[in-house]
Structures are given as structure tokens and as C-alpha cells.
Structure 1
Amino acid sequence: MKNLALFDLDHTLLPIDSDYEWGQFLVRTGAVDPVEFKRRNDEFFAQYQAGTLDPAEYLEFALGTLARFPRTQLNAMHEQFMAEVIKPAIRRRALDLLLRHLDQGDLVAIITATNRFVTAPIAQALGVEHLIAAIPEEDAQGNITGKLLGVPTSGPGKVVHTHAWLEKIGKPLSAFERSHFYSDSHNDIPLLSVVTHPVATNPNAALAAHAANLGWPSLHLFND
């Protein structure tokens, strides 16, 4: 594998935020208190969009919510979430972009700040084997405890986790002739800055301005 292709997930490969939509799904299905949970979920989402989110604080909230349910119930809820929310949101142009890199023999991975419970089935549905995501601690029965393993996979943490993953598979970033990272968010500028081919994908205003200043290409997958 001569080339590496990394993808953010939310608003990059999907036209939605899977973490936020998971919270909305919990509210809609009556799994959580609709008023208090929606208030906090909306508050955290606004902080993320503004670039002021404390990822550890958010993950404590998100994983703590998952810990309320036995794993069998969580899995059933997630199957419904995939059918009702995620699969209808998958777009052909995003799949084509992934397939182009896969067909070229590139090493492809999704790296997301959203936790692995929410995103692992999404990566599978997109046909991507490798996923770097926030890892929830599990007990011996596979139930989520509410704790985060390691550091959050957001901002500079994406750089840390990418290097750790590549080291684990014996392919440091410098070993690739070309390394791509596709992202929509200014929060991902740290990782965009260390690859050879950063691509501002469906970029928010802050990333679009940064990309324009540095001459990075922009890609829009969801305009149609």
C-alpha cells in the first residue's frame, strides 16, 4: 500500500452528525428524558460547531448515557438507528470516493471523534475495515461502563491516534507516498496539516477560509 486515505465521518462521508442524530434518536424513541437530554445534546452540538467543545466532558455525557442500557438492548436500538437514520443518509458520491481509494489499493480508515459503539456499524455499512474512534470501556459482559479508554479522538487527538494506529500496523505516516485526509471541520486542522494531501470536504466556513489561504483543495459531496 503506497497511499493512505483517512476520512472524517460526520458531515464528511455522511451529510449528518451521527453522534447528534443518535441523541435525537434516543429522544424520539423515548429512551431518555426528552427535555433534559435534548437540552444537553443541543448544547454540546453548538459547542462543537463553535469549536469550543470539551471532548472529554462530552464523552462523559455520551458514554454515561450508553451505560444506562444493557448491551443487548443497545445493539437492538442501534440496528433500528441504522435502518431509520444512517442508511437513508448514505450518499452515492461518498461511496464512490471511498471505492476509488479502495480500488486503488490504498489503506483506508475512518477517524472520528464519535465513539466506536455508534460508528463501528456505520463504517461497516460504508465498506471501511479500519476505524479509529473513541473507545468506551466495557465490562466482562460487554456492557458499556461509561468510561473512556485513552484520550479523545478529536482535534490534536486525531493525530495521536493516527500515529498510534499506523505504528501498530507497522506503517508509519512517512512510509506512504501520498497521505490524504478528508474532513469538513476546522477542528481537524491538526491532522489535515500533517498529511501530504489535505482535502477540505464539505467544509464549514472556518475550514473553507483556512483551506483557501493554504491552497488546499475543496470537495463538495452533498450539493446535489
Structure 2
Amino acid sequence: MQVYDLPVVFFDLDDSLINKDANSLWIKWRFKHERWALVEALQALASLYRAYKKGKVTHGRLSGYYRTRTRGMSLEQYQRKVAHFFAERGNFHIYPQAASLLFAYQRQGSDIVMITGSDDVIAQAYGKALGIRHVISNRLNVEQGEITGLQHPMCYGEGKVQLAGEYLRQRGLTFADAAFYTDSHSDAPLLEQVAQPVVLNPNSALRQMALQRQWPCLDWREQ
């Protein structure tokens, strides 16, 4: 695997550093422990997931999903459930190749940043397991300890570009100083901004885009 000599390297999480979608893993885990969570699963599978893959997620739709996902839970309760989820299911889906690539970038001194549509509680759990200190994610909006949705901007599509740009500016850098690894065409806006886009375990739409633009492509699913 080639390592690019750049100060900052962004990585997507779902189907990139892990071999599943973290939301899908969570839903299956919840359903195993709490059968009523089937309502949450149906909402996600029928609406959010399809919209996400088509690049049509709105802030209102995603906030609504998180209100359903965390209904009846305080932030502290959600954090405890995520810890149990990660120990029982989440940590078993990290690609072995991810550790090698991340170590290579750490060794050369690049700042590694996870940038993901997962919420900050889930994202931090994966970041800790992968040794990634900098995590950009969807941030839960919390009022008096209760989760009410997501903060603006959401970490998706153009929102990822905005949040990544803020991270770089705080360090006196620009997109010319960054690489980005992702599996999804919904991340095309950020791929088009960075100096080195890398397509990782791509869906069909992103694979076609990568071929047209001659972007490097890695597929760990074939190994």
C-alpha cells in the first residue's frame, strides 16, 4: 500500500476502515438485546440508509433518525450502550489492513483524522481502538442531558468539506496538504478538494468515478 507524503490524511469509517456500516452493526446489536428496536431498524433501512447511499441525506432526516435511535436515553446512557456494543460487536469489524496503513502514516508523522457520518460517541470508540486521536463526526445535540438531534453542519457531503476545511485552517494548512480515503460517492465533494484522493473499498458509483479521474483504488474486500 502506497503511503503519501502529506501532513494530514483523512479516513472515512464505514466500509473503509471497518468492513460494515456502523449504523447497521448498531441496529443488529440493539435488536438482539432489545426487540422493540426493530422500529429503529425499519426506519433506518427504509429511509436513512437508502438516502445516505444516494447522497440525499438532509440534516432534518438524520436528526430525526438520531432522536429515534436514542429515544428514552440520556447521553450518559447512550455512551454506556455504545461501550457495550463496541465490546460485543463493533470492534470485530476493523479491517486488518487498516492497522498497517494507519501505522505507516503515523510513522512518517502525518496527522491521521477520521471523518465520518457516524455520531461522535460511536466515532470516538472506533478512533480509540484504531489509535486515531483526531475525529470529525456528526455531533449529537444535547439539552439538559437529553439527545435532541444533531448539530450543524452535519458531517456528510458538503458538510464534510466544511468540517475538514476548518480542521486544516486551524493548523495553518489547506486541502493541498491532505489526502482522503473513502468508499462512498457521497464523499465526492471532499475527494475533489484534497491533493490526494484515494478510493477504498468503493461502491460501484465511486469505482466508476475513480476510473474516469484516475484516482488510486484499494479494495481490501478482495484480500
* TM > 0.5 fold call: yes
Contact 1:133 1:153 in 2 (8 A): yes
1:23 equivalent in alignment to 2:22: no
Report which stretch shifted further, 102-111 or 37-46: 37-46
Match of 1:138 among 136, 139, 142: 142
Contact 2:106 2:112 in 1 (8 A): yes
Alignment gaps of 5+ in structure 1: none
1:169 equivalent in alignment to 2:171: yes
Provide closer, same or farther for how the CA distance between residues 144 and 132 of structure 1 changes in structure 2, counting only shifts above 3 A. farther
Query: Which amino acid in structure 2 is aligned with residue 66 of structure 1?
Result: T
**How far is the alpha carbon of 1:47 from its aligned partner?**
2.4
Query: Which amino acid in structure 2 is aligned with residue 60 of structure 1?
Result: G
Query: Which amino acid in structure 1 is aligned with residue 155 of structure 2?
Result: T
Aligned to 1:95: 99
Aligned to 2:207: 208
Distance 1:109 1:31 in 2: 35
TM-score calculated relative to the size of structure 2: 0.90
Contact 1:136 1:144 in 2 (8 A): no
Distance 1:58 1:139 in 2: 18
1:70 equivalent in alignment to 2:79: no
Contact 2:40 2:69 in 1 (8 A): no
Aligned to 1:10: 14
1:190 equivalent in alignment to 2:189: yes
Aligned to 1:40: 43
Distance 1:212 1:172 in 2: 26
Contact 1:9 1:112 in 2 (8 A): yes
Q: Could you give the per-residue CA deviations for residues 187-214 of structure 1, whole angstroms, max 9, x where no partner exists?
A: 0000000111101100000000000000
**How far is the alpha carbon of 1:111 from its aligned partner?**
0.4
Q: Could you give the per-residue CA deviations for residues 61-112 of structure 1, whole angstroms, max 9, x where no partner exists?
A: 1244325213333222112111121111112101111111111100110001
Alignment gaps of 5+ in structure 2: none
Extract structure 1 runs of 4+ deviating beyond 6 A: none
**How far is the alpha carbon of 1:144 from its aligned partner?**
3.9
**How far is the alpha carbon of 1:145 from its aligned partner?**
2.4
Aligned to 1:113: 117
Aligned to 2:158: 156
1:58 equivalent in alignment to 2:62: yes
Distance 2:69 2:171 in 1: 33
Report which stretch shifted further, 101-110 or 38-47: 38-47
